[in-house]
Amino acid sequence: MENDYGLSPGDRIQVTWGKDRKHTVQSVTVVKEYPRFIRVDVGQYRSTINKADLITGDLSIKRIGGNANATR
């Protein structure tokens, strides 16, 4: 069960988490995509996004920008 989102280092994504009326949106920069998680730079620190949360719908991501060489 490997999901490749085609993210490259430097891509900007928007992460949304939380269901119903309370949800939070944050823009982050991709550091590296691994088979089970995505490493992101949040600003002052780095964090991870678990791909299982994307599959279950607890999190959602949307590409908002990135490298000039990005294919998507």
pTM for the structure as a whole = 0.78
Task: Give 22-72 pLDDT, tens digit per residue.
Answer: 778 889 999 999 999 999 999 899 999 999 998 888 888 999 965 544 443
Distance CA(50)–CA(25), nearest Å, equals 16
Distance CA(42)–CA(72), nearest Å, equals 22
In a 3-state reduction of DSSP, which class is residue 52? helix
